[in-house]
Structure 1
Amino acid sequence: MSNYKANSTNSTDFNLETKGISVGKLKYGKWYSFKAEVVLADNSHYQLEPKGVWDSVIELQKDGKTLLEFEMGWKGIVIKTLFKGVEKKYLLKLTGILSSKFVLIDTDEKMLLAVDADFKWTSFNFDFQIETTSEFEEFENKELLLLTTLHCINYYITFISSVS
């Protein structure tokens, strides 16, 4: 198990770190945008691009190649990874109706990580505490999946805020 934290450095950027070491950043061009950039610690850049009707599908791309995509479903956000041509599916969901805790589960309903979202009223920003399982820590592209999970949570919060 590992612990990560993602702090909003302003209303558009998040820094993900573990044990005081930066893992990567999630950067939005503007507030409440579905389009974002992921920058890993090795300075590799990825784009999160909305696709489809009403931007209902978001794709993680590098050099025009889709590595991951997600969309809102009835049970939560369905994440489909396409790393190295192997398709895997995950579900990101709230743990309760009035909860601010999200969990990522695999197709066997095994929890891989839990995220606590903490809204800071003074700055109107979110900070996130993430706890991962040892199985998740074995994932080859765990940093990309972590940063995309943060984007999914921001997407969910934006989506829910716009319909309420």
Structure 2
Amino acid sequence: PGTGVITGASDKLVIVSPDSGFINKFDLRTGSNVNIGDILFSYTNLDVFHQEKTLNELVLFADRRIVSLEEDQRLLKILLAGEISEESEFSTENKDFFSQELSAYKLLNEYFSLRNEEKNLKLREEKMIEEKNDLHDRLLLLKRKGNLLKSARAPEIEIINNKTEISQIISQIT
């Protein structure tokens, strides 16, 4: 803010006002005596006003960025330390700070995705092992059946069908 001041000599008055701006308040009332050097009004210089506004916005942006970077750092430390529990628990605990702008967010999504894929692959492996065990059990039963068919002198077609089933199971196992 600046002030407007009357300066002059003898009967000639000159009003001096600094750079462009807008008047905030008049310090002069109707009928007041005015003397040389009296402050008539206060105003805000437009250049200073815009500079102040820009600086304030920069400070606010920098503050938000600092908070964001600190949160990003905190999340990255948690990720590096391996202190992440389940995705749903982590999201609930960190929902206030969990911003998609953070680089940690992308890494966490990738981490959760890989962890889910790992779980799915382990389940698939378990199912395949179960299936392999079932096929081995079935193979043993078919071999036993083959021995019984031979000892019972079953028709040749049944023995061939049994051998075909055995070869199919062997190909599935390998």
Give the TM-score normalised by structure 1. Answer: 0.19
| Structure with larger Rg | 2
| Larger RCO of the pair (alpha carbons < 8 Å, separation 6+) | 1
> Is the strand fraction higher in 1 or 2?
1
